[in-house]
Amino acid sequence: MSSAPVAVSTVRRRGIEGRSNLAGWFFVSPAVLLFIVFIAGPFVAAMGLSLFSWDLLTPARFVGMENFTRLFGDATVWLSLRNTFVFAFASVVTHIVIGLALAVAVNRPLHKVVQYVTRSAIFFPFLISWAAVSLLWKYVLDPDFGIASYYLGRIGITPPNWLIDPQWALPALIGIDWWHTIGYTFVILLAGLQTVPGIYHEAAKIDGANAWQRFWHVTLPIMAPTLVFAMIITFIGAFQIFEPMRIITDGGPSDSTRSIVLYLYQQAFESFQVGYASTIALVVFAIVMIVTLLQLRLSRRWMGHD
């Protein structure tokens, strides 16, 4: 008879746990659904389509590994990857270095109005859509009637053909990307900078450390996780750059600004080679994953963990 209450208690406890688990799944279901529809589903579809030749108009034809063989022999793929890596590396360096400098400059005792205006001015361009930014800078850098060319000419400087010269087109897009997205990196680094306890700086100052030594030996080590996060996010965003290349230069001149995602788009929606475009998408995914894991691995050593 004594086992009956125990059995009832066990059944009741399992019922409560079951309801709790059901409630938990209910709350996470929107995120799980979005992940399946927009990430897992397209990824599985890309893996399947990479084995087919399909032009969206006729039935798909199974070709096995032919798309992968073609990809490794496609010179435009390697050129697009080179442009993308140059763009991503330059983006990471400029965002981290200049973004951190801006965060340090703003993170000091200032009047609240000055702080608000300065931070808003730095972050505001990030709120503008890439389409609007691309059209704006396409006008500003126009060699005939652009604002930049006009004022450089007024002070006696012959402006380069920013978007026409292959040597200047990619650096110009790197600068445009920096202007548009530096605000996001700035906010991340500013938040990380404000987590550094002031007591550590006071202790270092008492020990005789100057401002640079305190920044190098106190601020940067404590901010290491924030810096790693900012580098990873910046690289992922830069490696998938598409809008300015498509709107401003369309990959030109002479393919000097053709990114790998732009080439993917052109293969899928201009050449209608969906299977080959899916193969390129898988390569982009693999590169982003490998570089991200490598950054995390190196960051553990940098932060003193393994």
236-278 pLDDT per residue, tens? 999 999 999 999 999 988 999 999 999 999 999 999 999 999 9
Residues 105 and 184 in one domain: yes
Mean pLDDT rounded to a whole number for the chain: 87
- pTM metric for this prediction: 0.87
Residues 122 and 213 in one domain: yes
59/53 Cα distance (integer angstroms): 9
Number of domains observed in the structure of the chain? 2
**98 and 143: one domain?**
yes
The answer to the question of residue 208 being in a domain is yes
In a domain, 62, yes or no: no
With respect to residue 220, please indicate whether it lies within any of the assigned structural domains: yes
Residue 56 placed within a domain: no
Percent of the chain with pLDDT over 70: 92
- The reply to whether 42 and 75 lie within a common domain is no
Check pLDDT > 60 for residue 221. Answer: yes
Quick one: pLDDT at residue 14?
58
Pair 163, 292 in one domain: yes
Does 4 score more than 80 pLDDT? no
Q: Does residue 130 sit in the same domain as residue 17?
A: no
The CATH number of the domain holding residue 198 is 1.10.3720.10
**Do 27 and 162 fall within a single domain?**
no
Q: Are residues 227 and 296 in the same domain?
A: yes
Asked whether residue 31 falls in the same domain as residue 81, the answer is no
Q: Report if residue 11 sits inside a domain.
A: yes
Residues 32 and 102 in one domain: no
Distances (CA, A) of 173 to 63, 148, 168, 257: 37, 14, 9, 8
| 173 found inside a domain | yes
Q: Is the pLDDT of residue 50 over 80?
A: yes
72 and 39, same structural domain?
no
Whether the per-residue pLDDT at 203 is higher than 90: the answer is: no
**What phi, psi does 45 have (nearest 5°)?**
-65, -40
- Which residues span the domain enclosing 247? 67-302
β pairing state of 52-53 and 61-62: antiparallel
Within-domain flag for 13: yes
Whether residues 170 and 28 fall in one domain: no
- 59 in a structural domain: no
As a whole number of angstroms, the distance between CA 100 and CA 102 comes to 5
53: which strand partners?
A: 61
Residue with tokens 């084995």, as numbered in its chain: 51
